[in-house]
Amino acid sequence: MASIICGSIAYDTIMTFEGRFQDQILPEQIHILNVAFLVPSMRREFGGCAGNIGYNLQLLGGKPLIMATVGADADPYLSHLERLGISRQFIKKLDQAFTAQAMITTDLANNQITAFHPGAMNDSHTNRVGDCIDHLSNNDRHIGIVAPDGRIGMWEHCHQFSQAKIPFIFDPGQGLPMFNGQELLELVDLATYVAVNDYEGEMLCQRTGLSLHELANRLEALIVTKGAQGAQIHTQD
């Protein structure tokens, strides 16, 4: 089965501050905050929601087809996917932008400061699900995944999967706050499955005004992950 994964590809730059942020910040001067943290440890990882999902599906023997937008600096990431045997056919490179990237600094108390640059991810709507479908065999079964991405891209890709009658998983993740309750209900109704973590599940309920049980009745399944405690799968009555 081919899995068409719409979502972000990003670089994660991860740094460690060998102290505690609270020792460097003066609470009474927070209104004129101007600090710098020495970070002796730094590493760069290949990340992004579509990249991570595709990597893990490949490990499980699946056939991931990543549909994403990247910037002029994406060559190391694209080479990485090639080495893994993951198709880059539907990854669009935009030379006028940077690839999305997160700069994450963690202190010894495990507090984090993150800066995120969306870059080419904001143009994810320039990819069309139909372009991917046209290259697939009619005999091959397909499933779609809409993961965190540019807001317009997430919205349009959900509608495109629905119009193509391809079952798909709506996995809004950190993109969930970009949509209001009415918009989220529309996307839920288009989806076959919805996947959220515990916190996102609470936010989804608050924004839509529906319980997990009521949301599940609009889907084939609502999956709520709970970290080390596993996951709950809610199905229709």
Q: Does residue 203 lie within any of the structural domains? A: no
Q: Does residue 131 lie within any of the structural domains? A: yes
Q: Does residue 167 lie within any of the structural domains? A: yes
Tell me the CATH number at 82. 3.40.1190.20
Task: Give the C-alpha separation, 61 to 152, whole Å.
Answer: 31
Whether the pTM exceeds 0.85: the reply is yes
Q: Does residue 28 lie within any of the structural domains? A: no
Q: Does residue 197 lie within any of the structural domains? A: no
Helical H segments across 85-218, by residue range: 129-133, 151-163, 181-190, 198-208, 212-216
Number of folded domains that form the chain? 1
Q: Does residue 135 lie within any of the structural domains? A: yes
Q: Does residue 17 lie within any of the structural domains? A: no
- How do residues 15-60 score in pLDDT, each as one tens digit? 999 999 999 888 888 888 888 999 999 999 999 999 999 999 999 9
Nearest CA to 157 out of 182, 137, 175 is that of 175
Q: What is the mean pLDDT of residues 130-156?
A: 89
